[in-house]
Amino acid sequence: MIASLSMYDRPETAEAWDALWQGIRTHLDRSDAPEALTRDADLWQVWTAPSLLLGQTCGMPYRTRLYDKVTLVGTLDHGLVKPAGYYNSVIVAQRDRAQDPLSRFAGQRFAYNDGVSQSGWAAPITLMRDNNMLPGSLLQTGAHRASAQAVADGQADFAALDCVSWLHMSRHDGFAADLVVIAETPPTPGLPLIIAKSEDPAPLRAAIRTAIEGLSPEQRDTLHLFGLVEIPAAEYLAVPTPLGPVLTEQTIRLQGHTAPAG
């Protein structure tokens, strides 16, 4: 069996995630529960594995490719936006642009982690469309942290980051001090916890809730974790899915947007 909680996993949070999993494993009382979390595995292989006992995906992959192949367990509540279990994207730029509105970034270089990311791509592009703007050139970085670093290093003018990832960057990455939040997207359901299609989610929900209660105050603070929320699948499926990066770049070219130098 596979257990993976990799979406917010980084060296500074790994011990707390391990503690959470050990609590879940203890209270789940399944002989086939793995002793340790799976790390550094291909996420799509994890999410679609028949042996998935616990995984965490993103809202966009869930609604576009996974919802009929997995069972939704619940959503961890990190307490950064309301309602509980929801999250949003923060859009960051270099600190000297703190007074620039989002509209000032039209036609400029945008960094995003992945074209199937709700917080890195879908939410910010929807927000830009709603504000009658598009970026200029697009830079795919592969990770929220890499997107933020690209802005700090001047490779991109702005980027959209999962607000929980941004919290961890603000705590642990020196380059975060060079960045400022210039806009936020409306909240959408947070990262869904999933299991294989054939699994019953009820015992796992109970084990997760008990394990969260069993964390120390320091571990809860490390994860900024407040509980488990059951968000209906329909709320995930109702979130709009914009055009992907390829079609967006075609639109950018057709509309004549160019990225300024520097």
What CATH code is carried by the domain that includes residue 94? Answer: 3.40.190.10
Nearest alpha carbon to residue 120 among 102, 103, 144: 144
For residues 113 and 176, state if they share a domain. Answer: yes
Give the model's pLDDT for residue 111.
Answer: 98
Give the model's pLDDT for residue 261.
Answer: 32
Position 243 in a domain? no
Give the model's pLDDT for residue 195.
Answer: 97
For residues 74 and 194, state if they share a domain. Answer: yes
For residues 69 and 199, state if they share a domain. Answer: yes
For residues 169 and 94, state if they share a domain. Answer: yes
Out of 124, 155, 186, a domain closes at: 186
Nearest alpha carbon to residue 70 among 47, 98, 42: 47
For residues 179 and 207, state if they share a domain. Answer: no
Give the model's pLDDT for residue 254.
Answer: 84
Give the model's pLDDT for residue 107.
Answer: 96
Position 260 in a domain? no
Give the model's pLDDT for residue 24.
Answer: 98
For residues 108 and 173, state if they share a domain. Answer: yes
Give residue 96's identity as a one-letter amino acid code: D
Whole-angstrom Cα Rg for the chain: 19
For residues 31 and 57, state if they share a domain. Answer: yes
Give the model's pLDDT for residue 259.
Answer: 41
**166 Cα distance to chain centroid:** 10
- Global pTM? 0.93
Overall domain count for the chain: 2
Position 176 in a domain? yes
First to last CA, the chain: 49
**The token pair that represents 44 in the structure block:** 């799509």
Q: One digit per residue, pLDDT tens: the chain, 262 residues?
A: 999 999 999 999 999 999 999 999 999 989 999 999 999 999 999 999 999 999 999 999 999 999 999 999 999 999 999 999 999 999 999 999 999 999 999 999 999 999 999 999 999 999 999 999 999 999 999 999 999 999 999 999 999 999 999 999 999 999 999 999 999 999 999 999 999 998 899 999 999 999 999 999 999 999 999 999 999 999 999 999 998 999 898 888 887 654 433 3
Position 215 in a domain? yes
Print the domain residue range for 27: 2-78+190-237
Position 66 in a domain? yes
For residues 212 and 174, state if they share a domain. Answer: no
User: For the residues of 39-76, what is the DSSP string, one character each?
Assistant: -SS-HHHHHT-TTEEEEE--HHHIIIIITTTEEEEEEE
What contacts 232, CB < 8 A, 6 or more positions away? none
DSSP-derived pairing of the beta strands 2-3 and 52-56:
parallel
For residues 180 and 200, state if they share a domain. Answer: no
Position 245 in a domain? no
Give the model's pLDDT for residue 247.
Answer: 86
Position 99 in a domain? yes
Position 70 in a domain? yes
